[in-house]
């Protein structure tokens, strides 16, 4: 971010014009196949305004106006904080004003409200801030008017929370906005004014700032802390957090635990984390792979794990003979150890393991989702892996290009976290000393184009634009020759179509592939050449 002194602008000052939002637009992605919408690495949802109106009405009926306002304000506050952290990543080198402007722009991009700055003053070093903004097309006003009609008091509770949360991240101290005019109350436009939270009580809706002073901290800091607390287990996605919650609940017990999930999702790391939080943490943590185990190896593992934990990895690959011996050892109860196991197969659906053994070792199953179902964890994992592969102690981890970052988010990872680690390790070696990691360092030329959509500046969805391919050798000479002969566009198109159809032996589907068209598109054009 550029160094700046105090910023003061008001009225029609050119300094208050919002910057171009193309840098934010290109990070909004739609994934129809996966049922996901993402803004950067944050998952988003489209919600009907009518559904918001119903939620608001039900909250007021169940909790009363005061508590309902607090819930919706808090929801907006968290959303603003998350967008504030996202804006820092995208516009970290921009001016302070452009960084602040990302809040109104993101709020508009998310369909909540259009924002016009009226007055902005801030001095980050001294903690001074005053901001006044006009709102139009407030989704919250629309929801309220549609369900409740005109209001006696301002109704943009979620929007006020968002503005406060975003500006709090921007200023590094709690900033609270008040809505001083609202269209639901008859004003032409909504208008809000924001100032630092003083020593007096927070305004209505912001009571949580007094109840939980740390609420002004960035939510991503909490995510990073949670990820760090996991040790080798990194991630904040819902599926992983659910697995981690189960680990924390079962760690203090003596129950056997079965970790389920595809290869490379981190089952062994989660098992180690459970051991480290168990009463046996001071004892050994022994891992044996079922597929390579024999009778002597099993006996040795049981002896080495005494006083600690034994993880039988890939239980679904254990031979029938060793299944019997393992079942006997478990039932005998003369081994002082915690039983843990992992499997890549669903053993309850006939995974080739005896039912009795599944019942013993699977008393407490924990499933880990594949990485393709928790893409929001990819940036966290990437950051950790880049730090691991820094070439010298204390060296700042290298960055990645936007193309590389998009490719990492697009990839389906059949090898899961282990595959991501390997790709980053390879890329760290291939990239030059002062060179950011690019898509080619990670995937070579084999990665298929992503099956996702992006939002064009005109507001329509379109397939994600691929990088333009270099022109074929000799194309310039061909263009010159065609222009010299005054070959018209129609004649050139007809010649290309006829040539492709002839080369494909009359097969229109094959000819369409040669021309980069769909079969219906080619059939339409081909009929025109016959006409």
- Look up the CATH number of the domain holding residue 322: 3.40.50.300
Looking at 463, 486, 512, the residue that finishes a domain is: 463
Residues 338, 339, 341, CA angle at the centre, nearest 5°? 140
Helices (H), 47-111: 49-63, 65-90, 96-109
Average pLDDT over the chain reads 83
Residue range 317-323: average pLDDT?
A: 91
Residues 59 and 208 in one domain: yes
Residue range 154-169: average pLDDT?
A: 94
* Domain hosting residue 359, numbered range: 227-369
Burial class of residue 171 in the structure, from the number of CB atoms within 10 Å of its CB (0-12 exposed, 13-18 middle, 19+ buried): buried
Distance CA 27, CA 499 (A): 41
What's the pLDDT band for 455 if we cut at 50, 70, 90? Answer: low
The pLDDT of residue 215 is above 60? no
Task: Output the pLDDT for position 34.
Answer: 74
What's the pLDDT band for 330 if we cut at 50, 70, 90? Answer: very high
Percent of the chain past pLDDT 70, that is, above it, reads: 83
Task: Output the pLDDT for position 122.
Answer: 92
Residues 153 and 47 in one domain: yes
Give the total number of structural domains in the chain: 4
Residue range 372-394: average pLDDT?
A: 78
Q: Judge contact between 272 and 243, C-beta under 8 A.
A: no
Task: Output the pLDDT for position 282.
Answer: 96
The pLDDT of residue 469 is above 70? no
What's the pLDDT band for 203 if we cut at 50, 70, 90? Answer: confident
Long-range contacts: 343-350, Cβ < 8 Å, 24+?
343/258, 343/259, 343/260, 343/314, 343/315, 343/316, 344/260, 344/261, 344/262, 344/263, 344/314, 344/316, 345/316, 346/260, 347/258, 347/260, 347/315, 347/316
From the CA atom positions of the chain, what is the Rg in Å? 30
| Strand duo 257-260 + 338-343: pairing | parallel
| Strand duo 257-260 + 364-367: pairing | parallel
Task: Output the pLDDT for position 391.
Answer: 58
Establish if 222 belongs to a structural domain.
Answer: no
* Strand partners for 277: none
Task: Output the pLDDT for position 42.
Answer: 79
Residue range 190-203: average pLDDT?
A: 85
Query: Among the ranges 286-300, 395-409, 454-468, which has the highest mean pLDDT value?
Result: 286-300
Distance CA 396, CA 113 (A): 39
The pLDDT of residue 227 is above 50? no
Residue bearing the bigger pLDDT, 430 or 229: 430
The pLDDT of residue 473 is above 60? no
Residue bearing the bigger pLDDT, 74 or 204: 74
Least Cα distance to 243 among 265, 220, 264 occurs for: 265
* Strand partners for 348: none
Establish if 441 belongs to a structural domain.
Answer: yes
The pLDDT of residue 1 is above 50? no
Task: Output the pLDDT for position 507.
Answer: 77
The DSSP secondary-structure symbol of 434 reads T
Residues 132, 137, 141, CA angle at the centre, nearest 5°? 90
Helix (H) or strand (E) segment spanning residue 307: none
Task: Flag the least confident range among 127-131, 244-248, 381-385.
Answer: 381-385
Residue bearing the bigger pLDDT, 455 or 3: 455
The pLDDT of residue 185 is above 90? yes
Task: Flag the least confident range among 301-310, 448-457, 499-508.
Answer: 448-457
The pLDDT of residue 457 is above 70? no
Task: Output the pLDDT for position 11.
Answer: 72
Residue range 143-159: average pLDDT?
A: 91
Establish if 244 belongs to a structural domain.
Answer: yes
Looking at 436, 463, 490, the residue that finishes a domain is: 463
Establish if 136 belongs to a structural domain.
Answer: yes
Establish if 387 belongs to a structural domain.
Answer: no
Residues 326 and 248 in one domain: yes
Residue bearing the bigger pLDDT, 446 or 332: 332
Task: Output the pLDDT for position 464.
Answer: 61
The pLDDT of residue 520 is above 70? no
Residues 268 and 348 in one domain: yes
Residue 420's CATH number: 1.10.8
Task: Output the pLDDT for position 29.
Answer: 81
Establish if 520 belongs to a structural domain.
Answer: yes
Residues 233 and 294 in one domain: yes
Establish if 378 belongs to a structural domain.
Answer: no
| Strand duo 42-44 + 114-123: pairing | unpaired
Task: Flag the least confident range among 7-16, 179-188, 424-433, 497-506.
Answer: 7-16
In the Cβ-directed half-sphere of 171, how many Cα atoms lie within 13 Å?
A: 28
pTM for this structure? 0.60
Task: Flag the least confident range among 69-73, 107-111, 147-151, 501-505.
Answer: 501-505
Residues 231 and 92 in one domain: no
Residue 519's CATH number: 1.10.10
Residue bearing the bigger pLDDT, 185 or 239: 185
Task: Output the pLDDT for position 402.
Answer: 75
Residue pLDDT, tens place only, 35-55: 888 887 778 889 999 999 999
């Amino acid at each position: 971010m550029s160094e700046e002194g105090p910023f003061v602008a008001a009225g029609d000052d050119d300094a208050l014009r919002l910057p171009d939002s193309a840098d934010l637009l290109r990070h909004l992605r739609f994934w129809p196949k996966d049922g996901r919408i993402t803004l950067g690495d944050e998952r988003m949802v489209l919600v009907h305004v009518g559904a918001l109106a119903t939620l608001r009405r039900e909250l007021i009926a169940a909790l009363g106006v005061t508590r309902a306002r607090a819930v919706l304000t808090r929801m907006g506050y968290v959303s603003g904080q998350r967008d504030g952290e996202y804006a820092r990543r995208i516009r970290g080198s921009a001016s302070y004003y452009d960084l602040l402007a990302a809040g109104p722009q993101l709020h508009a991009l998310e369909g909540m409200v259009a924002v016009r700055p009226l007055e902005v003053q801030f001095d980050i070093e001294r903690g001074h801030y005053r901001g006044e903004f006009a709102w139009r097309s407030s989704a919250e006003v629309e929801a309220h008017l549609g369900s409740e009609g005109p209001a006696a008091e301002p109704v943009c509770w979620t929007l006020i929370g968002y503005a406060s949360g975003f500006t709090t991240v921007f200023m590094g101290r709690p900033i609270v906005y008040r809505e001083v005019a609202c269209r639901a109350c008859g004003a032409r436009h909504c208008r809000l004014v924001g100032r630092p939270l003083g020593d007096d009580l927070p305004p209505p809706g912001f009571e949580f700032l007094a109840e939980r002073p740390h609420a002004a901290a960035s939510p991503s800091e909490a995510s990073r802390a949670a990820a760090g607390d996991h040790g080798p287990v990194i991630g904040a996605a819902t599926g992983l957090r659910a697995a981690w919650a189960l680990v924390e609940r079962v760690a203090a017990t003596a129950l056997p635990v079965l970790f389920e999930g595809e290869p490379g999702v981190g089952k062994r790391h989660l098992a180690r984390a459970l051991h480290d939080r168990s009463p046996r943490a001071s004892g050994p943590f022994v891992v044996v792979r079922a597929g390579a185990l024999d009778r002597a190896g099993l006996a040795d593992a049981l002896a080495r794990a005494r006083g600690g934990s034994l993880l039988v990895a890939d239980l679904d690959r254990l031979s029938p003979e060793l299944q019997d011996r393992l079942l006997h050892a478990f039932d005998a109860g003369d081994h002082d150890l915690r039983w843990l196991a992992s499997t890549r197969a669903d053993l309850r659906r006939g995974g080739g393991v005896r039912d009795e053994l599944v019942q013993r070792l699977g008393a407490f199953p924990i499933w880990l989702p594949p990485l393709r179902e928790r893409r929001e964890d990819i940036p966290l994992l990437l950051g950790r892996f880049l730090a691991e592969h820094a070439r010298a102690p204390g060296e700042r981890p290298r960055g990645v290009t936007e193309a590389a970052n998009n490719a990492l988010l697009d990839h389906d990872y059949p090898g899961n976290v282990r595959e991501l680690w390997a790709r980053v390790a390879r890329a760290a070696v291939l990239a030059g000393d002062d060179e950011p990691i690019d898509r080619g360092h990670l995937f070579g030329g084999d990665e298929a184009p992503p099956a996702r959509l992006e939002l064009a500046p005109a507001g329509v969805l379109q397939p994600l634009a691929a990088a333009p391919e270099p022109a074929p050798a000799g194309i310039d000479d061909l263009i010159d020759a065609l222009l010299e002969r005054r070959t018209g566009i129609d004649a050139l198109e007809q010649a290309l179509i006829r040539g492709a159809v002839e080369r494909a032996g009359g097969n229109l589907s094959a000819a369409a592939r040669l021309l980069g068209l769909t079969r219906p598109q080619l059939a339409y054009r081909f009929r025109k050449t016959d006409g």
